[in-house]
């Protein structure tokens, strides 16, 4: 696992590492999903879109990790998870997050309202 951690991006401009991730096996990438998810905390980071594309290749495996983000107080990260991941997951994976989406849409915190997490969750719920 330590060797796998060495291939993780070192900073928000580390495109080379993001490209190398594509050469890993499915099992290796799955073991890195929680760490990779951290790279979409800000979609303005250069590597964020590449990492998001990679994460979407694991529509079932990423679900529990997205749920963990929804339990944090990082409302911007929640928004980006909704916008770049959940919105683009296959419908069966989105349905797995239905109860989370309902909570975000109907009972958002003040921070979630401020970052329009509730608006994005409602938008996704309409697609289901």
Domains and CATH numbers, the chain: 2-127 (1.25.40.750)
The answer to whether the CB of 115 falls within 8 A of the CB of 76 is yes
For the whole prediction, is pTM greater than 0.85? yes
List, for residues 73-120, the tens digit of each pLDDT value.
999 999 999 999 999 999 999 999 999 999 999 999 999 999 999 999
List, for residues 17-59, the tens digit of each pLDDT value.
999 998 999 999 999 999 999 999 999 999 999 999 999 999 9
Length of the chain: 128
Looking at per-residue pLDDT, the higher value among 113 and 6 belongs to 113
């Amino acid at each position: 696992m330590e060797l796998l951690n060495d291939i993780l991006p070192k900073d928000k401009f580390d495109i080379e590492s993001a490209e190398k991730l594509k050469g890993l096996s499915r099992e290796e990438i799955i073991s890195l999903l929680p760490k990779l998810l951290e790279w979409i905390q800000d979609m303005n980071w250069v590597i964020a879109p590449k990492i998001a594309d990679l994460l979407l290749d694991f529509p079932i495996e990423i679900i529990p990790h997205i749920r963990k983000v929804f339990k944090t107080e990082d409302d911007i990260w929640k928004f980006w998870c909704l916008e770049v991941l959940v919105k683009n997951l296959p419908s069966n994976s989105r349905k797995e997050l239905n109860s989370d989406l309902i909570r975000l849409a109907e009972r958002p915190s003040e921070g979630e309202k401020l970052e329009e997490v509730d608006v994005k969750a409602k938008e996704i719920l309409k697609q289901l």
